[in-house]
């Protein structure tokens, strides 16, 4: 393992600081705690260890131990660092740990194992301390959560004040993934560089809406044309901004595409940070679309985004057209 990389703890996550020439910081990372922060940490590791995206493998704790070892011992397609991700790692059994202990006696120099755990596994933690690093990712609360929202707002190119941060917590809740999605919607609605105050949050996110936006996105996911179009029009009639609805639609289609990566509900739920019932619904919706349809839908949504923010006199019109084309499979 390279000694030229170091971990830097922040208020909400851990950053890896590595010279560009360094290919691998550690052979093994155990990410424990909040799933959204684990996803961010994983993205940072992909960038800083320069992993090969074509060779990345995502598994879960239900696979045989030998499958994990074979993935680690398989060379990257392009000669870079191969990333092997194990979701739900708190459920790895004795035979998994023993196989990994044998593997780390002489690990591959071009593979990195990242185990993502939402709970404790003492033996896995002990192995990670010996063979790599344990990264604790605790969700911020209270004032730290408000500070996190302001920091995350900067990532979305927004300036969020204190009152707006607390208003978001009140309106959306304290789940980081939901809060990040809300910031994404605000960025879509208000535009990059905007200042966000309490009034903007209250206008965009009402706690007691007559129609919930997820009813609209679920109808799109289930390819129910009449229900999706009817719900969309009612939301527009209630005064929901078209760009907010567009942001929710884009996020949901992106999740449907990502869901095609997973064979098990458990692994998908760990990745998305959703309860089982919601993950099962998402996976069922993803199966109603072919992967290539969803890829085309993302291209269509990118074009719709430009049109809605451009010269369209009625931005709801291109939004309605995009919904109809996605459900009909006419991208």
Domain match, 265 and 291 both: yes
Q: Among the listed ranges 37-46, 217-226, 237-246, which one has the minimum average pLDDT value? A: 237-246
Domain match, 173 and 290 both: yes
Domain match, 169 and 211 both: yes
Q: How many CB atoms lie within 10 A of CB 68?
A: 23
The CA R_g of the chain, rounded to the nearest whole Å, is: 21
Domain match, 171 and 118 both: no
pTM of the complete model beyond 0.75? no
Q: Identify the pLDDT of residue 16.
A: 39
Long-range own/partner contacts, residues 2-7 (CB < 8 A, 24 or more apart): 2/26, 5/48, 7/133, 7/135
Place 238 in a pLDDT band, splitting at 50, 70 and 90: low
Q: Identify the pLDDT of residue 137.
A: 93
Place 331 in a pLDDT band, splitting at 50, 70 and 90: low
147 located within any domain: yes
Domain end among 137, 168, 187? 137
Q: How many CB atoms lie within 10 A of CB 24?
A: 24
Report, as an integer, the average pLDDT of 236-257: 88
Q: Give the Cα separation of 262 and 153 in Å (integer).
A: 29
Tokens matching residue 206: 């009402």
66 located within any domain: yes
Burial 269-307 (b: 16+ CB within 10 A, else e): bbbbbbeeeebebbbebbeebeeebbebbeebbeebbee
1 located within any domain: no
Maximum average pLDDT range among 23-37, 71-85, 202-216, 315-329 = 315-329
Tens digit of each residue's pLDDT (9 = 90 or more) over 141-177: 888 999 999 999 999 999 999 989 988 887 787 889 9
Domain match, 18 and 131 both: yes
13 located within any domain: yes
116 located within any domain: yes
Domain match, 160 and 115 both: no
Domain end among 137, 160, 175? 137
Q: State the residue range of the domain holding 172.
A: 143-328
155 located within any domain: yes
Domain match, 56 and 191 both: no
85 located within any domain: yes
CATH number at residue 21: 3.40.50.300
CATH number at residue 304: 1.20.272.10
Domain match, 162 and 116 both: no
Domain match, 185 and 210 both: yes
Q: Identify the pLDDT of residue 141.
A: 86
Report, as an integer, the average pLDDT of 286-307: 94
Q: Give the Cα separation of 328 and 331 in Å (integer).
A: 8
Domain end among 79, 105, 137? 137
Place 198 in a pLDDT band, splitting at 50, 70 and 90: confident
Domain match, 131 and 179 both: no
Domain match, 162 and 78 both: no
Closest by CA to 167, choosing from 206, 114, 132, is 206
Domain match, 297 and 175 both: yes
Question: 3-class SS at 160?
Answer: strand
Tens digit of each residue's pLDDT (9 = 90 or more) over 122-148: 999 999 999 999 999 999 988 899 999
Q: For the chain, what is the domain count?
A: 2
Q: How many CB atoms lie within 10 A of CB 254?
A: 14
């Amino acid at each position: 393992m390279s000694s030229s990389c170091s971990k830097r703890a922040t208020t909400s996550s851990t950053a890896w600081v590595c010279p560009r020439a360094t290919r691998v910081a550690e052979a093994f990372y155990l990410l424990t705690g909040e799933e959204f922060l684990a996803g961010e940490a994983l993205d940072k590791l992909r960038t800083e260890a320069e992993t090969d995206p074509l060779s990345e493998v995502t598994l879960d704790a239900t696979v045989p131990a030998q499958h994990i070892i074979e993935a680690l011992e398989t060379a990257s397609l392009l000669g870079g660092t191969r990333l092997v991700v194990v979701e739900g790692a708190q459920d790895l059994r004795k035979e998994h740990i023993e196989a990994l202990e044998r593997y780390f006696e002489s690990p591959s120099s071009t593979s990195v194992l990242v185990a993502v755990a939402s709970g404790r596994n003492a033996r896995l933690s002990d192995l990670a301390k010996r063979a790599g690093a344990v990264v604790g990712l605790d969700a911020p609360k209270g004032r730290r959560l408000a500070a996190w929202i302001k920091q995350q707002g900067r990532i979305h190119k927004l300036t969020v004040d204190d009152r707006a941060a607390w208003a978001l917590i009140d309106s959306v809740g304290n789940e980081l993934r939901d809060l990040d999605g809300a910031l994404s919607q605000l960025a879509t609605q208000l535009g990059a560089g905007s200042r966000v105050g309490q009034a903007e949050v209250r206008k965009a996110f009402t706690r007691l809406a007559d129609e919930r936006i997820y009813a609209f996105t679920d109808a799109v996911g289930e390819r129910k044309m009449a229900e999706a179009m009817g719900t969309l029009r009612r939301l527009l009639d209630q005064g929901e901004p078209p760009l907010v609805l567009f942001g929710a639609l884009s996020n949901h289609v992106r999740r449907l595409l990502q869901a095609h990566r997973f064979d098990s509900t458990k692994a998908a739920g760990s990745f998305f940070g959703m309860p089982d019932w919601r993950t099962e619904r998402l996976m069922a919706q993803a199966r109603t679309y072919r992967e290539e349809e969803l890829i085309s839908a993302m291209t269509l949504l990118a074009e719709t985004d430009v049109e809605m923010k451009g010269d369209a006199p009625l931005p709801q019109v291109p939004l309605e057209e995009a919904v109809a084309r996605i459900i009909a499979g006419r991208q």
